[in-house]
């Protein structure tokens, strides 16, 4: 598998299928793990990092499932390719931008990614389309068992899996569900939803993780604490609150339709029209408009477009994706023109 | 109808009772959001370094803190000062070595200091031989940096011996 082959596909988390996929984009679980016989990354020199990298590769090749993962050497990867992997959520921004030997191993469906030498020696991640935390847990739990049969993890009887940052110790687990909440944003209820989630120790972040703006009305809801609760409890904590948020979003959508369907139809149609006809468009504006169109499709206001297509456009209009697809480095201004061209091609007006 | 603050179309029609009487506003969603919630609270979790420094301020005198800051893990060499500046630990042994300081931190971050989740299938780890390897590797680095190659070589032999022993043990498939 080559990185360039990924560009034309949308990957697991944007497939647009699975339970509640009109509102839930994807379910993701990650586990932070460290090898017992190496210092944490902060105290590793180049030799340690290279050793960890080669030990992991060598050991994983002995497992009948793990041996099929494709290892990508992130350290020697071009900037554009790193950015591309960040946009696909296969590596973190920190992993892309740090120094020294580091890698990521991914499977063909892009459901699983294994970062080597991120903040911890290993960051295992599994993504499923739609609302499917149980599926994600079964998958990652099996991967974790397989890795653990090949490598010795740093584990303490009382404190659990030991991590570089004490905020991840214990289960080392972060469960997160990516939801699309345009109606809660439009009706101005989103801040209130966030505050109530925070009160029960859940975090809300933007699409690309900590510190990023909520682009395209996408939000990740995830657990904050990792110690003192079992993996199942942490999954349930997020799993129980997501249906409530889904219900709020549906109510807000219903409210918008009942209050003024023509106004909503107008907004959605204008967004669609802008995407079809713009000659120069930024990534932010594209996300904003695609978000409206996505909601419009789900509410039956737009009939000639499918959700998977819209999901594809969300990722393919990101800066690095656009450059990979066009196979040329582009300046911001050139990207804005190319993005408009790309959208124009993919959203051709059907009835002219 | 256009938004009164920008040129987008107004979707919010707000009637506000102010000291001067009734104020009618026609705003787009962005301006309405801004109008209704001028201050948005930060939704990010508190940083670990912040929680730690607050906790230390409450519990330690300046002299105690100075002594504490100077403590270094015998395995990886990280000082407590370095940990609390960066918020990242240096090796698994730090959880034991700085255990007394970490315990209240874990409780304030997680509301608990005891893991109740998954255990590695192969059981508890053998703390001694694991940390031994980390310690030896760091000693070897030091020996190399002061160009004491004889010492470095003897340490490397010890490392190989431990690694070789573990490869053969049933717990460590090679």
Q: Which of A47, A156, A266 sits opposite B95 (nearest CB)?
A: A156
Mean pLDDT of A266-271: 96
Domain definitions of chain B by residue range? 1-38, 47-110, 127-167
* A225-240 per-position pLDDT tens digit: 999 999 999 999 999 9
Of B115, B117, B49, whose CA–CA distance to B87 is shortest?
A: B49
Asked whether the predicted pLDDT for residue A213 surpasses 60, the reply is no
Going along chain A from its start, the domains and CATH numbers come out as 3-249 (3.30.590.10), 258-346 (no CATH)
**Interface contact A257, partner B, CB < 8 A:** no
* A302-331 per-position pLDDT tens digit: 988 999 899 989 989 999 999 998 888 999
Average pLDDT of every residue of chain A: 92
φ, ψ of residue B69 to 5 degrees: the values are -55, -30
Do B171 and A152 make contact, defined as CB atoms within 8 angstroms? Answer: yes
Residues 105-164 of B with CB under 8 A from A: 105-106, 109-122, 124-125, 129-130, 133-134, 137-138, 141
Q: Which of B33, B48, B122 sits opposite A166 (nearest CB)?
A: B48
**Interface contact A188, partner B, CB < 8 A:** yes
Burial (CB count within 10 angstroms: exposed 0-12, middle 13-18, buried 19+), residue B128: exposed
Asked whether the predicted pLDDT for residue B19 surpasses 60, the reply is no
Chain A residues inside the 8 Å CB shell of B134? 37-39
Report ipTM (2 d.p.). 0.87
Residues 162-181 of A with CB under 8 A from B: 162, 164-167, 169-171, 173
The pTM of this model reads 0.83
What is the per-residue pLDDT for B171?
35
Distance CA B62, CA A148 (A): 44
* Window from A265-269, A271-275, B60-64 with minimum mean pLDDT: B60-64
Asked whether the predicted pLDDT for residue B86 surpasses 70, the reply is yes
Do B117 and A36 make contact, defined as CB atoms within 8 angstroms? Answer: no
* A63-99 per-position pLDDT tens digit: 999 999 999 999 999 999 999 999 999 999 999 999 9
Mean pLDDT of A143-155: 94
Mean pLDDT of A195-215: 76
**Interface contact B104, partner A, CB < 8 A:** no
Instruction: Decide which of B173 and A101 is more confident.
Output: A101
> CA gyration radius for chain A?
21
Q: Quickly state the pLDDT bin for B140 (edges 50, 70, 90).
A: confident
Instruction: Decide which of A95 and B38 is more confident.
Output: A95
Task: Tell me the two tokens of residue B85.
Answer: 């500046």
Chain B residues inside the 8 Å CB shell of A165? 48, 87-89
DSSP states along A59-90: HHTTSTTGGGSEEEESTTS-HHHHHHHHHTTS
- C-beta of residue A154 within 8 angstroms of C-beta of residue A162: yes
Chain A residues inside the 8 Å CB shell of B93? none
The DSSP letter of residue B42 is: P
Of A213, A239, A218, A190, whose CA–CA distance to A295 is shortest?
A: A218
* Window from A160-169, A291-300, B30-39, B136-145 with minimum mean pLDDT: B30-39
Instruction: Decide which of B24 and B81 is more confident.
Output: B81
Strand locations in chain A, DSSP E?
24-33, 70-73, 103-106, 112-116, 122-129, 155-156, 160-161, 173-180, 202-205, 218-223
Do A171 and B118 make contact, defined as CB atoms within 8 angstroms? Answer: yes
Distance CA A292, CA A299 (A): 11
Q: Quickly state the pLDDT bin for B38 (edges 50, 70, 90).
A: very low
Asked whether the predicted pLDDT for residue A221 surpasses 70, the reply is yes
Mean pLDDT of A248-263: 93
What is the per-residue pLDDT for B44?
42
Mean pLDDT of A54-60: 95
Q: CA distances (Å), B5 to each of A191, B16, B28, B35, B98, in order? A: 22, 16, 8, 10, 56
Distance CA B76, CA B86 (A): 15
Instruction: Decide which of B128 and A264 is more confident.
Output: A264
φ, ψ of residue B169 to 5 degrees: the values are -70, 150
Residues 28-47 of B with CB under 8 A from A: 29, 32-33, 36-37, 40-41, 43-45
């Amino acid at each position: 598998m080559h990185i360039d082959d990924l560009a034309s596909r949308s990957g697991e988390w944007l497939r647009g299928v699975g339970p509640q996929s009109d509102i839930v984009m994807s379910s993701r679980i990650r586990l932070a793990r460290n090898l017992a016989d190496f210092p944490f990354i902060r105290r590793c020199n180049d030799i340690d990092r290279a050793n960890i990298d080669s030990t992991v590769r060598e050991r994983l090749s002995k497992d009948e499932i793990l041996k099929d993962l494709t290892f990508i050497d992130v350290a020697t990867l071009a900037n554009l390719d790193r950015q591309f992997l960040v946009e696909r959520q296969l590596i973190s921004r920190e992993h892309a931008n740090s120094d020294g030997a580091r890698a990521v191993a991914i499977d063909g469906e892009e459901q699983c990614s294994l970062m080597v030498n991120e903040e911890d020696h290993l960051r295992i991640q599994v993504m499923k389309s739609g609302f499917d935390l149980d599926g994600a847990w079964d998958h990652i739990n099996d991967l974790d068992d397989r890795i653990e049969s090949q490598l010795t993890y740093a584990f303490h009887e009382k404190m659990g899996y030991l991590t570089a940052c004490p905020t991840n110790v214990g289960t080392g687990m972060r469960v997160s569900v990516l939801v699309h909440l345009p109606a809660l944003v439009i009706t101005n209820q989103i801040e209130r939803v966030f505050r109530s989630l925070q009160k029960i120790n859940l975090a809300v972040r933007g699409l690309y993780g900590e510190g990023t703006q909520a682009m395209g009305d996408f939000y990740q809801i995830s657990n904050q604490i990792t110690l003192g609760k079992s993996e199942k409890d942490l999954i349930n904590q997020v799993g129980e609150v997501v249906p409530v948020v889904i219900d709020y979003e549906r109510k807000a959508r219903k409210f918008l339709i009942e209050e003024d369907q023509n106004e909503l139809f107008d907004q959605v149609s204008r967004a669609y029209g802008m995407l079809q006809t713009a000659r120069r468009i930024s990534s932010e504006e594209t996300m904003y408009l695609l978000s409206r169109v996505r909601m419009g499709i789900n509410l039956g206001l737009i009939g000639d477009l499918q959700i998977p297509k819209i999901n594809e456009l969300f990722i393919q209009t990101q800066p690095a994706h656009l450059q990979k697809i066009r196979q040329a480095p582009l300046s911001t201004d050139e990207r804005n023109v190319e993005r408009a061209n790309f959208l124009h091609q993919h959203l051709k007006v059907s009835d002219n | 109808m256009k938004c009164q603050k920008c040129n987008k179309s107004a979707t919010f029609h707000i009637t506000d009772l102010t000291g001067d009487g009734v104020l009618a506003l026609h705003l787009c969603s962005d301006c309405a959001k801004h109008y209704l919630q001028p201050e948005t609270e930060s939704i990010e979790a508190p940083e670990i370094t912040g929680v730690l420094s607050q906790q230390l301020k409450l519990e330690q005198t300046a002299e105690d803190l100075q002594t504490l800051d100077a403590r270094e893990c015998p395995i990886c060499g990280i000082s407590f000062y370095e940990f609390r500046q960066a918020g990242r630990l240096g090796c698994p042994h730090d959880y034991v070595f700085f255990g007394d300081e970490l315990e209240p931190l874990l409780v304030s971050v997680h509301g608990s200091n005891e893991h109740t989740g998954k255990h590695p299938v192969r059981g508890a780890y053998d703390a001694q031989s694991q940390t031994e390897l980390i310690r030896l590797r760091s000693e070897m680095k030091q020996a190399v940096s002061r160009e004491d190659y004889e010492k470095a070589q003897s340490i490397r032999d010890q490392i190989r011996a431990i690694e070789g022993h573990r490869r053969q043990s049933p717990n460590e498939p090679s």
